[in-house]
Structure 1
Amino acid sequence: MLEVGNLAVSYRGLCALDNINFAISPGQIVGILGPNGAGKSTLVKAMLGLVPVSRGKIQFNNRPLRQQLQQVAYVPQRSQIDWDFPITVQNVVMMSRTVRIGWFRSPSRQSQELVRSALERVGMWEHRHRQIGELSGGQQQRVFLARAIAQQADLFLFDEPFNAIDRTAQDIIFDVFRELKTQAKTLLVISHDLGETLNYYDRLLLLNRHLIAMGPRSEVLTTANVQQAYGHDLSLLAA
């Protein structure tokens, strides 16, 4: 169980998030929605301890999440990654194993097999020796998904994984999401897409500095909630 209680985050005296409360059971895919500046990425970064929290608690399985970050796989926005860094696809995925094996130890056979299996699962094993910056946007996202899989985490956080990717990559990512769900993993996915992909989520979390609504799509994306979050009708946003 992931629990966030009375969470607040401020930057330079400005409120980024306030009074955020929710709980997510294992085996759920939760989509985080809201306009630009709503605090979606801030929420994820606060959970990871990447930004200071003004108040509140973030617990996973009844323990502070920051004490068990090895159980968290995080895939940031593509714009936050240095695609010119000279590293191969295979080594990007192998980096997920360093928490378990240590920075200066050679990868175990188990780690090598996990990396290969993860890359094969997302259709990127044949590209394992290519530099990460040589790939298309969809291929890059599949590599970082493979890295998350190889980490063998219990909680997965994805920040806009569907931006600037092709349909093949999108389908692969959602297939993997469903597999992780059957393994009782917990997935939080930040998204701007208000179209058909919303059907893939078990629950939606609608945010605009405050938690506006959380639950199934029919309860969250009401006219009143959408107007409160975005200031516009849903039909205009999805157009």
Structure 2
Amino acid sequence: MSADAQPTPAAPAPTDGPPVLEAQGLGVALGGQQILSGIDFAVRPGEVVALLGANGSGKSTLVRALLGIVPTDAGTVRLFDKPLGNGVPWNRVGYVPQRLPAATGVPANALEVVASGLLTGRRLRPPRDARRRARAALEQVGLADKARRPVHELSGGQQQRVLIARALVRDPDLLVLDEPTSGIDIPTQQTFVDTVQRLHAGGATILVILHELGPFAPLIQRALVLRHGRLVHDGAPPNPRDEHAAPGHQHTHPHPDPEPPNAGPTITIEVTP
């Protein structure tokens, strides 16, 4: 570390207060198929939790159910000790989906997409400092020079970084990430992980879907493992397999969890359910 470098603040230990996120007996059925059954877990303030599992195990569906994006058919969800719904303080939640929605005909640029992360069901107009905050968030993910570029002209990796900035612009207390580094080059992955680490050091709680721990490994305190739609492990993170621990290994894998036939664009649900 150079003389000018500042050490990363120590992350706060999880507290014993009410869970930030809690699921009890959660079940999801989509298209006549049972995707999730009997999911029980709680995430405490200050935890960094990885959600792991094979392709199709239900990871993305679980996250979407926790945020009210897909309907549940059993059990309950609470966010910040509030039942899932309008009573949840959604301005305290940041969500990074796997991808941008299909084009809607509106050529939004990166700055506008990021600034939209400051909207909620109760705030239909962005705050006065929205553009300043959006520029700062784009700078955190290395896209300050792309602020005026239409998002559909950006590469897939750059679009993913726009989604990350859209979540970070809120300075959220709970950050939910669905394969956030998929399609992003290794140096940018580490830059993003460093940003998440700083957010966590400030007290944020993190839930992140991963195929393998990769650059997130030093941050992960606990792992939830799904298998065939059921929670089969809740505890210490597993050791990475040798090939996945290698510095040059690319942590990019598709995760085609089943979705409802008429599922809409996921990005629009980040603000409120």
**Interval containing the TM-score (normalised by the shorter chain):** 0.7 to 0.9
The DSSP-based 3-state class of the residue aligned with 1:217 is coil
**Does the CA-based 8 Å contact 2:109-2:149 persist in structure 1?**
yes
C-alpha distance in 1, partners of 2:215/2:114? Answer: 30
Q: 2:98 touches 2:160 (CA, 8 Å); kept in 1?
A: no
Determine which of 39, 61, 66 is the counterpart of 1:42: 61
Task: From 89, 95, 98, give the equivalent of 1:77.
Answer: 98
Query: Offset at 1:83?
Result: 5.8
Task: Give the superposition deviation at 1:45.
Answer: 1.0
Distance 1:51 1:27 in 2: 26
CA root-mean-square deviation: 2.5
Q: Describe the SS at the equivalent of 1:27.
A: coil
Structure 2, unaligned stretches of length 5 or more? 1-18, 250-273
The AA in structure 2 aligned to 1:200 is: L
Matched, 1:211 2:218: no
Instruction: State the alpha-carbon separation in 2 of the partners of residues 12 and 117 from structure 1.
Output: 41
Cα distance in 1, alignment partners of residues 123 and 69 from structure 2: 22
User: Which deviates further from its counterpart, 40-49 or 59-68?
Assistant: 59-68
* Percentage of matched positions with identical amino acids: 38
Identify the residue that residue 28 of structure 1 maps to in structure 2.
47
Deviation at 1:166, TM superposition (A): 0.3
Q: String of CA shifts for 1:126-162, please: whole Å, max 9, x gaps.
A: 2111111222333222221111111233222111112
In 1, Cα distance between equivalents of 2:140 and 2:161: 9
**Aligned equivalent of 1:171, options 181, 190, 193:** 190
Instruction: Give TM-score, length-normalised by structure 2.
Output: 0.73
CA contact (8 A) 1:83 1:132 kept: no
Query: Retained in 1: the 8 A contact 2:23–2:78?
Result: yes
Q: Would the alpha carbon gap of residues 187 and 197 (structure 1) be closer, same or farther in structure 2, given more than 3 Å must change?
A: closer
* Structure 2 CA distance for aligned equivalents of residues 115 and 50 of structure 1: 24
Equivalent residues of 1:87, 1:132 under 8 A apart: yes
Q: How far apart, CA to CA, are the structure 1 residues paired with 2:123 and 2:79?
A: 24
Task: Give distance in 2, aligned partners of 1:179 and 1:171.
Answer: 12
Structure 1 residue ranges without an equivalent (≥5): 223-233
Matched, 1:55 2:74: yes
Partners in 2 of 1:58 and 1:108 — Cα distance?
A: 30
TM-score of the aligned structures, taking structure 1 as reference length:
0.82
Query: How big is the shift at 1:237?
Result: 8.1
Residue 38 (structure 2) pairs with residue 15 (structure 1): no
